[in-house]
Amino acid sequence: MISSCGGGNESVSEQSVQSYMGTGVVKAITDSKGHVNIDHEAIDGFMDAMQMFFPVLDSTVLNGVEVSDSITFEIVIEGGNYAISSIEVFE
């Protein structure tokens, strides 16, 4: 499920899907593996650099990801909802 960051009455067919790439460091993962806290750099066209929790589309996105890992990640946004769809660990 994609988390809401705003409201709207658009139907699914009227909503456009956008994606953005980010880079950061994992600071925490919730026990349910439904959210990941990332200290990330600015994400061009989406948000400034900050540390925050992001929902993930599926808990398997976090397989092999640990606290303190440096990552690149993709955020998908549909309407007012957003979630991380993929994470890649790098050194």
pLDDT digits (tens, 9 = 90+) for 64-79: 999 999 999 999 998 8
Indicate the pLDDT class of residue 13, thresholds 50, 70 and 90. Answer: very low
**Residues belonging to the chain:** 91
- Exposed e or buried b per residue across 4-22, where buried means at least 16 C-beta atoms within 10 angstroms of its C-beta: eeeeeeeeeeeeeeeeeeb
Residue 10 falls within a domain, yes or no?
A: no
Residue 86 falls within a domain, yes or no?
A: yes
Domain total of the chain: 1
Which domain range does residue 63 map to? 21-90
Give the type of residue at 84: I
